[in-house]
């Protein structure tokens, strides 16, 4: 049985006081209201991870994650954060290949393959993002484009390594735009990705791979998206910045 996950990607938002308040509120709400075995991951700005950790003490359902890491273990890379650093502060997840990183920081599939390697070598679970632009969808090349992102970013891994990967499908045209993929569009792509994984790793690995949907998912549409057979949860941006809305999204992943 694959894991159900709802991850919040806070992106570059919140001051420290706001971050502490949000984590505390989410932690209390999840403790009181969530009975299912859904795994919650809060990908806050890396700067706050160490401070936030004690606020989740004893909270088994919520893990902390980073939003990126560098592909090298250490060295002269001013401003960067490495996988060993994240490991050293007890972080379990890292988002890799978010479309904003690909777009604004020029991250390539080859570079992401290296980031995936170093994340896994340090015991981090990568949340590997993929997704097409509106133009690619309109030109009907979106299926091939997203399949290639997986092939080039992940398919060098052994089946044992791949078992530690979480995929997040995020159509770029749906991110922060209020334009959500319909549940049918999400299901179509998730099913295609699962088949693509099966073609390389076999049906058992594919069946056990958690595939999240991201892109304007919120308290109104989450239940329908998560009800799709190949949608195992969400990577939530804007709606993860408000405790009540985020908890409602988490509760929708039954």
* Positions in the binding site for ligand G3H (CB under 6 A): 9, 98, 170, 175-176, 214-217, 235-239
- Annotated catalytic, 98? yes
Residue 9 among known ligand-binding residues: yes
Residue 10 among known ligand-binding residues: yes
- Residue whose beta carbon is closest to ligand G3H: 237
Active-site residue, selected from the candidate residues 70, 142, 170, 196? 170
Q: How far apart are CA 129 and CA 167, in angstroms?
A: 6
Tokens of 70: 């560098």
In the complex, minimum distance from the CB of residue 165 to ligand G3H, in angstroms, rounded to a whole number: 16
Q: How far apart are CA 228 and CA 143, in angstroms?
A: 18
Active-site residue, selected from the candidate residues 98, 142, 190, 196? 98
Residue among 123, 70, 120 at smallest CA distance from 92: 123
Tokens 């309109």 map to which residue? Answer: 138
Sign, CA dihedral 223-225-227-230, equals negative
Residue 238 among known ligand-binding residues: yes
Cβ proximity to ligand G3H, 200 vs 242, nearer residue: 242
CB 150 within 8 A of CB 196: yes
Interstrand relation of 211-213 and 62-66 (parallel, antiparallel or unpaired): unpaired
Residue 234 among known ligand-binding residues: no
In the complex, minimum distance from the CB of residue 54 to ligand G3H, in angstroms, rounded to a whole number: 25
Cβ proximity to ligand G3H, 72 vs 242, nearer residue: 242
Tokens of 248: 């409602």
- Annotated catalytic, 204? no
**Apex CA 115: angle with CA 9 and CA 127, to 5°?**
35
Cβ proximity to ligand G3H, 6 vs 236, nearer residue: 236
In the complex, minimum distance from the CB of residue 81 to ligand G3H, in angstroms, rounded to a whole number: 18
Paired with 41 in beta bridges are 7, 63
In the complex, minimum distance from the CB of residue 198 to ligand G3H, in angstroms, rounded to a whole number: 25
Residue 11 among known ligand-binding residues: yes
Tokens of 42: 């809060």
Binding site residue list for substrate: 9-11, 176, 216, 237-238
Q: Which residues are annotated as a binding site?
A: 9-11, 176, 216, 237-238
Residues noted as catalytic: 98, 170
């Amino acid at each position: 049985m694959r894991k159900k996950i709802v991850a919040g990607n806070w992106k570059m938002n919140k001051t420290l006081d706001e971050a502490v308040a949000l984590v505390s509120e989410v932690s209390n709400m999840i403790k009181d209201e969530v009975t299912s075995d859904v795994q919650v991951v809060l990908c806050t700005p890396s700067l706050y991870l160490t401070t936030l950790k004690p606020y989740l003490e004893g909270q088994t359902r919520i893990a902390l994650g980073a939003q990126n890491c560098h592909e090298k273990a250490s060295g002269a890379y001013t401003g960067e954060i490495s996988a060993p650093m994240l490991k050293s502060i007890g972080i379990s997840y890292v988002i890799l290949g978010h479309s904003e990183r690909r777009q604004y920081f020029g991250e390539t599939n080859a570079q992401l393959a290296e980031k995936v390697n170093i994340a896994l070598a340090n015991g981090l679970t990568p949340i590997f993002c993929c997704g097409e632009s509106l133009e690619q969808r309109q030109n009907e090349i979106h299926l091939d484009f997203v399949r290639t992102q997986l092939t080039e970013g992940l398919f060098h891994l052994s089946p044992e390594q791949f078992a530690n990967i979480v995929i997040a499908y995020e159509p770029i045209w749906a991110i922060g735009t209020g334009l959500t993929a319909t549940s049918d569009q999400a299901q179509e792509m998730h099913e295609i990705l699962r088949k693509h994984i099966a073609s390389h790793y076999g049906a058992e690995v594919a069946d056990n791979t958690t595939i999240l949907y991201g892109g304007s998912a919120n308290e109104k549409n989450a239940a329908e998206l998560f009800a799709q057979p190949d949608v195992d949860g969400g990577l939530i941006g804007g709606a993860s910045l408000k405790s009540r809305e985020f908890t409602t999204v988490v509760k929708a992943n039954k």
